[in-house]
């Protein structure tokens, strides 16, 4: 089987805080007024992505991994993760503030949930005027100070707010308290994990009138209480060049702006490659075929690929590998 560049059907998720930008800005097939997430590439059980283009249309990502593990993922990726797809790719539209939350590290997630932890990064694609994100604390706090702020309803006073605009990028390591603010549309790259500890939700109620579950006690031992300035990602933006953004043990992400054809020799990569189009339109061509992606679309290129050519005149891409 020739594993050509694969596109997948988006898995749309309604959220209390969601809006219509995934449909209006990125063209997702949503009829809902509260679509918060588009899962672009997922190996999460119950939400497995399905191919949407070419002769493999309708085939699940998991079946492809089972049938062609090393060809699709790469030998080193299979050695580390077996036949599990190791990252989850999303677009997120926050019409309202998301809950304030954090994610456990690998050890704690394994012990409590038999899951990976959840390290992630955000690339801001669009932001309303004065939109912001919460990332970390604005000072060092103790566990006792934090717990008291929950009792006193003063947690928001301890948090660090970052104003954002298109292109801003943030790395969210495990244990860091965070939230996406209202008016932000972003691309998210994360470990394959759906483990989230929600610690404050602005006292919102769901459509049945219930408060959403909080994970106050579990979060206490998972949280980093130190003020750290390690989350803003500075990266070069040289056109037709692979610009490093994030290089962590769980994924590597590069920024590529295409103004003319760019060909990469990737024989030694030993990893699949994902392209998230965050602006414009580009054609992704390999020895096995090609696919066109526009802003808000994603394509998966197999590890068995030798050369990748990116063709376009006005495109911005996030390139993700392991």
Catalytic residue list: 198
The total number of residues written for the chain in this structure = 322
Q: Is 257 annotated as a binding residue?
A: no
Question: For the stretch 34-45, what's the b/e string if a residue is b when 16 or more beta carbons lie within 10 angstroms of its beta carbon?
Answer: bbbbbbbbbbee
Which residue, among 161, 182, 179, 155, has the nearest Cα to 17 in the 3D structure?
182
DSSP 220: H
Structure-block tokens of residue 161: 């707010």
Q: Is 111 annotated as a binding residue?
A: no
Which residue, among 54, 50, 10, has the nearest Cα to 29 in the 3D structure?
10
Q: Is 178 annotated as a binding residue?
A: yes
- The phi and psi torsions of 63 (rounded to 5 degrees) equal -65, -40
Q: How many CA atoms lie within 13 A of 153 on its CB side?
A: 3
Strands 100-102 and 197-200: antiparallel
Give, for 179, the enclosing helix (H) or strand (E).
Answer: strand 178-180
* Angstrom distance (rounded) from CA 109 to CA 102: 12
- The phi and psi torsions of 21 (rounded to 5 degrees) equal -70, -30
Strands 298-301 and 273-279: antiparallel
Which residue, among 120, 146, 151, 132, has the nearest Cα to 248 in the 3D structure?
120
Structure-block tokens of residue 223: 């949280």
DSSP string spanning 94-129?
ESSPPPEEE---HHHHHHHHSS----EEEEEEEE-T
Which residue, among 252, 221, 271, has the nearest Cα to 319 in the 3D structure?
252
Residues contributing to the annotated binding site: 103, 120, 178
Residues contributing to the annotated binding site for Zn(2+): 103, 120, 178
């Amino acid at each position: 089987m020739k594993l050509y560049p694969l596109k997948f059907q988006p898995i749309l998720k309604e959220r209390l805080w969601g809006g219509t930008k995934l449909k209006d800005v990125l063209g997702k097939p949503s009829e809902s007024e509260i679509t918060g997430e588009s899962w672009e590439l997922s190996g999460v059980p119950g939400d497995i992505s399905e191919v949407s283009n070419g002769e493999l249309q309708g085939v699940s990502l998991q079946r492809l991994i089972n049938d062609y593990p090393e060809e699709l993922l790469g030998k080193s990726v299979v050695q580390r993760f077996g036949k599990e797809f190791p990252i989850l790719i999303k677009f997120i539209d926050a019409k309202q503030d998301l809950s304030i939350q954090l994610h456990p590290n690998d050890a704690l997630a394994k012990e409590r949930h038999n899951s990976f932890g959840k390290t992630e990064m955000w690339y801001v694609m669009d932001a309303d005027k004065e939109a912001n994100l919460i990332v970390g604390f604005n000072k060092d706090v103790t566990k006792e100070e934090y717990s008291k702020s929950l009792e006193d309803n003063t947690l928001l006073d301890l948090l660090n707010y970052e104003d954002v605009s298109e292109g801003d990028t943030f790395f969210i390591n495990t244990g860091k308290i965070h939230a996406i603010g209202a008016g932000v549309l972003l691309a998210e790259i994360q470990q394959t994990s759906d483990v989230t500890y929600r610690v404050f939700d602005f006292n919102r109620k769901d459509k049945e009138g219930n408060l959403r579950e909080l994970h106050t006690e579990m979060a206490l031992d998972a949280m980093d209480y130190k003020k750290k300035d390690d989350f803003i990602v500075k990266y070069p933006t040289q056109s037709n060049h692979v610009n490093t953004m994030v290089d962590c043990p769980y994924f590597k992400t590069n920024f590529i702006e295409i103004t003319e054809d760019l060909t990469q020799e990737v024989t030694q990569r030993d990893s699949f490659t994902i392209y998230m189009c965050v602006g414009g339109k580009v054609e992704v061509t390999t020895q096995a075929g090609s696919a066109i992606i526009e802003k808000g679309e994603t394509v998966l290129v197999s590890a068995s690929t030798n050369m990748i050519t990116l063709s376009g005149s006005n495109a911005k891409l996030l390139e993700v590998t392991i």
